[in-house]
Amino acid sequence: MNQREKSPAEKTKLRASLLAKQSFPWVVPIALLIIWQWASSAGILPSRFLPSPRAVVSSFIQLSASGELWMHVRVSTLRALSGFVIGGGIGLLLGLLTASMYWAEILLDTTIQMVRNIPPLALIPLVILWFGIDESAKLFLVALGVFFPVYINTFHGIRSVDRGLLEMGRTYGLSGWPLYREIILPGALPSILVGVRFSLGLMWVILIVAETISARSGIGYMTMNAREFMQTDVMVVGILLYAILGKLADLLAKGLERYWLRWNPAYQTAQ
Amino acid sequence: MPVTFSSSATKNAAEQFCSRGVSVRIKNVSIAFAGRTVLENFDIEISAGEFVAIVGRSGCGKSTLLRSVVGLETPQSGNITVGNVADSVAKNVTKNGAKNNGKPDIRVMFQDSRLLPWRRILPNVMLGLEAALIPQARKVLAQVGLEERANDWPATLSGGQRQRVALARALVHDPNLLLLDEPLGSLDALTRIEMQQLIEDIWLSRGFTGMLVTHDVAEAISLADRVILIEGGRVALDEVVNIPRPRTRGSVRFAALEERILGRVLQRRPAF
């Protein structure tokens, strides 16, 4: 990249345009926030329905200062991630198995496709019966929910690996694990990561529902508990936390894509 | 003929000459896909170190022939012998380290480069090799003129450069038999001529046996010792190219031979 030297004026201009570009997506959220605050202060929006942004912020500061908030966040994150690791891990392994071995596909795929059509949340009554409102109930629901996107995308990814590359690999004496390592897994990775990204979103959705229905801790519990006492500010803090955590999970998935798929021009960051 | 299989990759070019190549005998081979016969009782013999070009129209079975030599297709009948090893060609494909068990090393260059997009250039050339052979891989990469691209992604290379990497990947194994399945088919005219020269030079210095499938009669004549035309699943023409190397396309003998082979290829074209 041999670009010519830019003059200071040009540089300032470039920086300004970059700043404008970066701040542009925030115009709408900030405007909404201002309108919201104004409506609350003017009494148009009663705090019984929705607290003012200022009330939300102060309640956030209060909850985090007392440490209560972080305890709930930690509990929820731990649940979400362990459920994701268990469900995603099993999905990955089974996807690899059914996509690579004919007998495994015949044996398992029909069953998996049948179970897939049951919404995991429809199992909540049964799950409460089985596990009570214990940790295992939430883990089970999250694991079950994230399993399918990972499984399906792994299966699809492996099945759509370029036949030409497989053929080439075999003429280079690759088979078994080396063939997997060099060709099949990297070839399936873009698809697997789509599944992971999808699962990370689903992970929070399922956890929220599970926590609001049956839990003694976690963000969902905090939010539901606040409802009992009409603490709308705490409820909004809980909802916003889910939004932030969901965004963080997505950023993580995007980061993995950028790193693992850096060979792919479609995922290369523009310089 | 005596054929030696050397597993040492460090011999110099002079020693390698004429000892690397292996003979290829294709006897009575028939291949059909879904009831449609592609090759029927097909016979050819290629001697060690010879460079043979196979021409013919699309769908005449020339690629299928090449693929069956390396075991990517299995003939319904007949047998293919590479070197002294009969009927073991198909196994050569899946067995690791073909060199070590005395089997001839067969490498293929496809029409598309088939580089792994997720590996940088050097690791692509190193496919299936131990890390100890990195200097060797760099040397071959230099031979095809791409040593400075060793750390780039395949996506950043041009089509011609990618084919040169594919050539390097095949050559680093020091093959006894190199199969070229229209490797230059998708390149522009200038790059093609450059690549033809490169392939000829490397073949002359290494002495492997070469089988080139091509649409381009001029390419066949400029590279090959023998041009074989396949038509209707059989050998329709088997012409020795007696033009001294390096061959110039403008020469009278070249043009006459090209004319003759082309005429033979076009003979069966339906009138329109």
Domain harbouring B95, CATH code: 3.40.50.300
Strand locations in A90-240, DSSP E? none
Helix (H) or strand (E) holding B27: strand B24-33
Whether residue B36 is found in the same domain as residue B156: no
Q: Domain residue spans in chain A?
A: 58-263
Based on the fold, state whether residues B200 and B149 are members of the same structural domain: no
Q: Quick check: B134 and B142 in contact, CB under 8 A? A: no
Give B116's contacts in chain A (Cβ within 8 Å).
165, 182-183, 186
**What are the tens digits of pLDDT across the range B30-67?**
998 888 888 988 999 999 999 999 998 888 889 999 99
Check whether residue B208 and residue B162 sit in a common domain.
no
Distance from CA of B169 to the nearest CA of A (A): 10
Closest chain A CA to residue B121 = A263
Nearest CA in chain A to B152: A263
Domain span at residue B142? 111-173
Better-predicted residue by pLDDT, B13 or A184: A184
Architecture in CATH of A58-263 = Orthogonal Bundle (1.10)
Test A165 with B95 for CB contact under 8 angstroms: no
- A171:B94 CB<8 A: no
Question: Is there a single domain that holds both residue B163 and residue B134?
Answer: yes
CA distance B213 to B232: 16
Distance CA B167, CA B201 (A): 13
**Which has more pLDDT, B245 or A166?**
A166
Cβ neighbours of A178 in B, within 8 Å: 96, 128
Asked if B64 and B199 sit in the same domain, the reply is: yes
- The answer to whether A168 contacts chain B (CB < 8 Å) is yes
Structure tokens, B86:
């009969």
* Beta carbons of A264 and B110 less than 8 Å apart: no
Q: What is the pLDDT along chain A (271 residues), one digit of tens a residue?
A: 445 566 777 888 888 888 888 888 889 989 999 999 999 999 888 888 889 999 999 999 999 999 999 999 999 999 999 999 999 999 999 999 999 888 999 899 889 989 888 888 888 888 888 888 778 889 999 999 999 999 999 999 999 999 999 999 999 989 889 999 999 999 999 999 999 999 998 999 899 888 887 778 899 999 999 988 989 999 999 989 988 998 899 899 989 998 999 888 887 654 4
Shared domain check, B101 and B23: yes
Residue keyed to tokens 């010792």: B225
CA distance B126 to B132: 10
| Whether B87 and B202 share a structural domain | yes
CB contact under 8 Å between A165 and B94, yes or no, is no
> Are B133 and B241 part of one and the same domain?
no
Residue B104 to residue B20: CA distance in whole angstroms: 9
ipTM reported for the complex, 2 dp = 0.80
pLDDT attached to residue A38:
93
Amino acid in the structure at residue B55 = V
Higher pLDDT, B124 or B250: B124
Comparing C-alpha atoms, which of B181, B206, B196, B179 is closest to residue B21?
Answer: B206
Q: Which residues contact B182 (CB under 8 A, 6 or more apart)?
A: B63, B111, B213, B214, B215
**Pair (B203, B97) in one structural domain:** yes
In chain B, the number of structural domains is 2
A178 touching B (Cβ < 8 Å): yes
What's residue B165's pLDDT? 96
Cβ–Cβ contact A7 with B under 8 A:
no
Judge whether A264 is closer than 8 Å to chain B, CB to CB: yes
Inform me whether the pLDDT recorded for B126 exceeds 90: yes
Nearest-angstrom CA–CA distance, B241 and B225: 5
Q: Are B176 and B107 in contact (CB under 8 A)?
A: no
Q: In the prediction, which pLDDT does B99 show?
A: 41
pLDDT at residue B46, as a whole number: 94
Interface test with A, best of B82, B111, B116, B167 (most A CBs within 10 A): B116
What is the per-residue pLDDT for B227? 95
B159/B101 same-domain check: no
Query: Which of B95, B96, B110 is closest, CB to CB, to A168?
Result: B110
Separation between Cα atoms, residue B109 and residue B99, nearest integer Å: 18
B108–chain A Cβ distance below 8 A for any pair: yes
Asked if A175 reaches chain B (Cβ–Cβ under 8 Å), the answer is yes
Residues ≥6 apart with Cβ < 8 Å to A71: A217
Contact B70 A173 (CB under 8 A): no
Alpha-carbon span B238 to A82, nearest angstrom: 68
Instruction: Please tell me the distance from the alpha carbon of residue A189 to that of residue A179, in angstroms, as a whole number.
Output: 14
Query: pLDDT at position B16, please?
Result: 42
Query: Please, is B191 exposed, middle or buried when counting C-beta atoms within 10 Å of its C-beta (0-12, 13-18, 19+)?
Result: middle
- Whether residues B101 and B115 fall in one domain: no
pLDDT of residue B93 exceeding 60, the answer is no
One domain for residues B23 and B100 = yes
Please give the pLDDT value at position B19: 61
Edge-to-edge order in the sheet of strand B209-214: B106-109, B177-181, B209-214, B51-55, B226-231, B234-240
Q: How confident is the model at residue B12 (pLDDT cuts 50, 70, 90)?
A: very low
